[in-house]
Homo-oligomer: A and B are copies of this chain.
Amino acid sequence: MPLFMDVHHKVDGLTAEAVAGAHQRDLEVQSKYGVNYRQYWFDENSGKVFCLVEAPDADTATRVHREAHGLEADELVPVQEGH
């Protein structure tokens, strides 16, 4: 399945707890769309978030974020994974 890195440039008021809650919502919503939000990294100071996600296509990945918590990524980059 295609892999994407999404980037949120600046989520206002980001905390570890808030991002964990949003990710949990992604996990709840994603299965009906065949999406897998695998992992994420974030910076509380800058509000930056990176999500690594497997999805049939970019639009479907975005749809999960939108339905789960409404915070859509600013960028969604199709990526290959290095080993």
Contact = CB atoms under 8 A, between A and B. Distances in A.
Contacts of A45: 78
Interface stretch (A16-24, A28-36, A62-70): A16-24
Interface residues of A, number: 25
Interface of A: 3, 5, 7, 16, 19-20, 23, 39-46, 48, 50, 52, 77-83
Given A5-B50, A48-B77, A50-B5, A82 B19 contact: yes
A42 B81 CA distance: 7
Contacts of A50: 5, 50, 77, 79
A79 B19 CA distance: 12
A81 B48 CA distance: 12
